[in-house]
């Protein structure tokens, strides 16, 4: 029997609303603001949540690095035929390409969100 169920995944950042808006645009989810300015969530239609918590001393991860390790990353699945357009969209939203797919030899590409968290677009 499980001890718990998975709730929300939370990313520390300097500006929760800005980062929530980025991920809401990437995922097509809805930003759910709260009265506080230090916590913002995005909600999927089926109920999954991703939250952003203000961290005044936020130090972005450096990818790849052991000194400022990523600690975790998010993988987002896209159909193979839509990978190029998905890349254009995340770059237009403020992501940066950290590592490509080496000419198609692997099925993912690594990006950094606007505050430096790594995430991948993965071919599903």
Render 23-57 in DSSP notation, one character per residue. HHHHHT-EEEE-SSSSEEEEE-TTS-EEEEEE-TT
Look at 13 and 2; give whichever has higher pLDDT: 13
At 6 the pLDDT is 83
The CATH number given to 59-124 is 3.10.180.10
Residue 112 has pLDDT above 90, yes or no: yes
- List the domain boundaries for the chain: 1-57, 59-124
The reported pTM is: 0.88
How high is the pLDDT of residue 38?
92
Report the chain's mean pLDDT, rounded to a whole number: 90
Residues in CB range of 118: below 8 A, 6 or more apart:
61, 63, 70, 73, 98, 110, 111, 112
pLDDT single digits (tens) 23-74: 999 999 999 977 778 999 999 999 999 999 999 988 888 877 777 776 778 9
Q: Which CATH architecture has domain 1-57?
A: 2-Layer Sandwich (3.30)
- Model pLDDT, residue 9: 93
Counting other chains too, the contacts that 72-77 makes at CB distance below 8 Å and 24 or more residues apart are 73/110, 73/117, 73/118, 73/119, 73/120, 74/9, 74/117, 74/119, 74/120, 75/108, 75/119, 75/120, 75/122, 76/26, 76/27, 76/119, 76/120, 76/121, 76/122, 77/122, 77/123, 77/124
Domains 1-57 and 59-124 share a fold: no
Does the structure show a pLDDT above 70 at 4?
A: no
Residue 3 has pLDDT above 80, yes or no: no
């Amino acid at each position: 029997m499980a001890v718990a169920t998975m709730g929300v995944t939370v990313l520390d950042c300097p500006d929760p609303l800005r980062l929530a808006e980025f991920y809401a645009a990437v995922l097509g989810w809805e930003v759910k603001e709260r009265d506080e300015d230090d916590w913002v969530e995005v909600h999927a239609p089926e109920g999954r949540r991703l939250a952003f918590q203000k961290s005044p001393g936020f130090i972005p991860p450096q990818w790849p690095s052991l000194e400022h390790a990523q600690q975790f990353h998010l993988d987002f699945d896209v159909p193979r035929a839509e990978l190029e357009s998905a890349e254009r969209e995340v770059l237009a939203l403020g992501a940066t390409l950290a590592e490509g797919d080496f000419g198609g030899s692997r099925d993912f590409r690594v990006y950094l969100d606007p505050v430096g968290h790594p995430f991948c677009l993965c071919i599903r």
